[in-house]
Structure 1
Amino acid sequence: MTTASTTRSWLPYGSTGTGTRLFCFPHAGASAAVYAGWRAAGNDDLVICPVELPGRAARGRETAHHDPDALVDDIVDGLGAELTGDYALFGHSVGALVAYLVARRIVERGGPPPRHLFVSGRAAPQLPNTRRELRALPTDDLVEELRALGGFPDVLLKERSLLEMFLPLLRADLSVNEVYRHVPGPPLPIPLTAFGGVDDPRAEKSELAAWQELSADSAVVTYPGGHFYLEGRVPEVLDVVRMRMAG
């Protein structure tokens, strides 16, 4: 049974406001805090609701999920009645896959679907993964791969003990991303918008465009930059979110 206290563990910043609630799922290894700065840009029409997944921040004693299906069931059950009314979903990188799977699970269960699904920085899930898998790489190789993408905290490079504490969570999130195998189904009955950076090595233009196969009402929006193109572009992205939901 979902209670107020369990819901708060998923939504550390709450979900109160008068606008559309935008539930935001983080990239691999990240916590809800990566979206904390978005909240001020939401204004009254958009309530930014960062989602805290098990295994990080205040939920650090919980076991992080390795399996995408188990994670998605946990999210849908944990958020419970939050996934009703006027809401939408956003996810970046592995968070994009999670947001998509949450939307799909809600539809499969016959629940009230989100107004819109926003995905960012990930190839469409029905495409085969042709890249080097990261989850089981030796530590030094994994760090080099992540540094090449950008966004890897410098403090983890300087403090090996912190890095060793961080790696199990990161590997769990990478597992969610890499073990997923797409099961074909009908297109989502909701609009979809895919965002990406034009120089993102993990989500090339054609791979972003393939998201359009998953919804009859879809769009692709790209910006200069790589995998973490979002940094510094939050107001622009949220303007597109508003425009797409208004349309």
Structure 2
Amino acid sequence: MTAALARTGRWLLRFPTRAAPTARLVCVPGAGCTAAMFHPWTALVPDDLAISVVQLPGRGARLREEPVERMDPLADAVALALREGPALPTVLFGHSLGALLAFEVARRLVADPGNSELIALGVAAHKAPQLGSADITPEEATPERLLAFVESLGGTPDSALRDPQIQRMLLPALRADFALDRTYRPFTGPPLPLPLYAAGGRTDPLVSAPEIEAWRDRTDGAFRLRWFPGDHFFVTGADSAALVADLAALLRTPH
């Protein structure tokens, strides 16, 4: 891990929360997304639940930093940041490519259980890690194709994608995210000793039902699968309150 990645102070954006939380929900945004996508959840979480979002280099408040293109150093850095956070029961939740990162972070945290409060993992809108990675080649990752990909998923206004300034901010992180996904080696190791909650959008054009259902093989604990109306960005849709309630319930279930 490089010295820059080892600095943990920038990794977690803590949204304003209650004075004395008893547990925390840590969210990991997907490809090209920023921590801001989860800000509406602050109005949905219970009074005793803190919410934090992983801030990745190359976007949001870390826009000037170089995006990371490999999984291992990225997962190492996020796991270190979580270990150095408050000692609260934690549910880790990842959306899209963030689900893959959340899984890798969870693997690292359970490997050192005496130094982690992680009690469950939640994933959404990404195929299970044993199923491989993105098939787009570096040569195919042109600005036009990357922007078309984002447009095809929904969740981003067309006017924003046509704005040259937004394109300049979005493309470096998006290109790095594709490299991160493409170079990820399918994981076939032991399942996590944690409850695992998986969620999918019924009209998601990117991830199929069998690819979401395959997360079942990544845990030897309780597994729950839930489908929501909406596309790839169902996590910010009209039913997001039900999703947040499911994640909060994981913190209240005896383990």
1:191-242 deviation digits (Å, cap 9, x = unpaired): 0000110121222111111101011211111112211112222211012123
Q: 1:193 aligns with which of 159, 173, 197?
A: 197
1:13 matched residue in structure 2: 15
Task: Write the letter of the residue equivalent to 2:175.
Answer: R
TM-score by length of 2: 0.86
Q: Does 1:139 align with 2:143?
A: yes
- Report how far residue 83 of structure 1 moved: 6.7
Q: 2:224 aligns with which of 208, 216, 219?
A: 219
What's the % identity of the aligned pairs? 35
Q: Does 1:241 align with 2:241?
A: no
1:45 matched residue in structure 2: 48
Aligned counterparts, 1:50-89, within 5 A: 50-82=53-85, 84-89=87-92
Distance (Å, rounded) in 2 between the aligned partners of 1:208 and 1:222: 10
Listed as ranges, the gaps of 5+ residues in structure 2 are none
* Larger relative contact order, structure 1 or 2 (CA cutoff 8 Å, min sep 6): 2
TM-score by length of 1: 0.88
Q: Over aligned residue pairs, what C-alpha RMSD do you find?
A: 2.5
Q: 1:36 aligns with which of 34, 39, 61?
A: 39
Task: Write the letter of the residue equivalent to 1:127.
Answer: L
1:174 matched residue in structure 2: 178
Distance (Å, rounded) in 1 between the aligned partners of 2:137 and 2:226: 26
- Report how far residue 75 of structure 1 moved: 1.1
The answer to whether the 8 Å contact 1:135/1:171 transfers is: no
2:26 matched residue in structure 1: 23
The answer to whether the 8 Å contact 1:83/1:112 transfers is: no
C-alpha spacing 1:113/1:174, structure 2 compared with 1 (3 Å): farther
User: How many residues of Structure 1 are paired with residues of Structure 2 in the alignment?
Assistant: 245
Structure 2 counterpart SS, 1:226: coil
